[in-house]
Amino acid sequence: MSKLPRTLRLDPSDTFIFERAAEAGEWAISGAFIFWNVDPDTLGPKQRAALRAGFLGLTSFGWSTLCTVTPVMADERASIVEDLATRLMQAFGAPSMEDARAAAEEEIAFAEGLCEHPEGTVLAVQRQVEDGEIRERFRTLHAREKDASGRDGLHSGARAFTFHEIDGDDDAPEEQVDLIGLMDKNT
């Protein structure tokens, strides 16, 4: 069984960052080919964001900032290659289905190479154009080790709020908020 990236959405930020955000759970590839032979200076801000840091979701052809390493069955992988090849023919004008299938296989093989990590590893990409070529750097993000209580070591003793007494503030006027009055003004 091989592994492929699957889009991950931890918050709604991708919907603001990209023109079209991938849905959570889509199979994904690097997607750098979308920007082949494109001058980055001609791109809008959301397209530049996709160039800089997006994985291409294969269902929506939307973008995702993060992906997770996920196992894929052989028959599902074959279906992904076929679907991508069809998309390359229809949307990108591949010269033949055979050429489209070869390109799709190459993209999927590259994506598999990114997933030589344990299942659940989070992937991020950073792209830039250097000397007219797209350069990609991929990072992996791992969960922190958990302590005996099940919390990660960095946050195990952390509290959401802390209260501090401030010396020398005795002369400051006491703040009071009229919540009922504020509610009446908003209705």
> With bands split at pLDDT 50, 70 and 90, how would you rate the model's confidence at 1?
confident
Chain centroid to Cα 27, Å, comes to 12
User: For position 5, what pLDDT does the model report?
Assistant: 98
Beta-ladder partners of 122: 68, 141
What is the DSSP secondary-structure string of 43-101? S-HHHHHHHHH-EEETTT--EESEEEEEEE-HHHHHHHHHHHHHHHHHHH--S-HHHHH
Asked if the model's pLDDT at residue 164 lies above 60, the reply is no
> With bands split at pLDDT 50, 70 and 90, how would you rate the model's confidence at 126?
very high
Q: Span 1-15, mean pLDDT?
A: 94
Q: pLDDT for 30-63, tens place per residue?
A: 999 999 888 888 999 999 999 999 999 999 999 9
The mean pLDDT of the chain is 86
Q: Span 174-185, mean pLDDT?
A: 65
User: For position 155, what pLDDT does the model report?
Assistant: 56
What percentage of the chain reaches a pLDDT higher than 70? 76
User: For position 46, what pLDDT does the model report?
Assistant: 95
- Sheet order of strands, 28-29 included: 28-29, 55-57, 63-64
User: For position 111, what pLDDT does the model report?
Assistant: 97
User: For position 93, what pLDDT does the model report?
Assistant: 87
Q: Considering only residues 97 and 179, tell me which one the structure prediction assigns the higher pLDDT.
A: 97
What is the DSSP code (8-state) at residue 24? T
Domain ranges of the chain: 2-141
User: How many angstroms separate the CA atoms of 27 and 18, rounded?
Assistant: 17
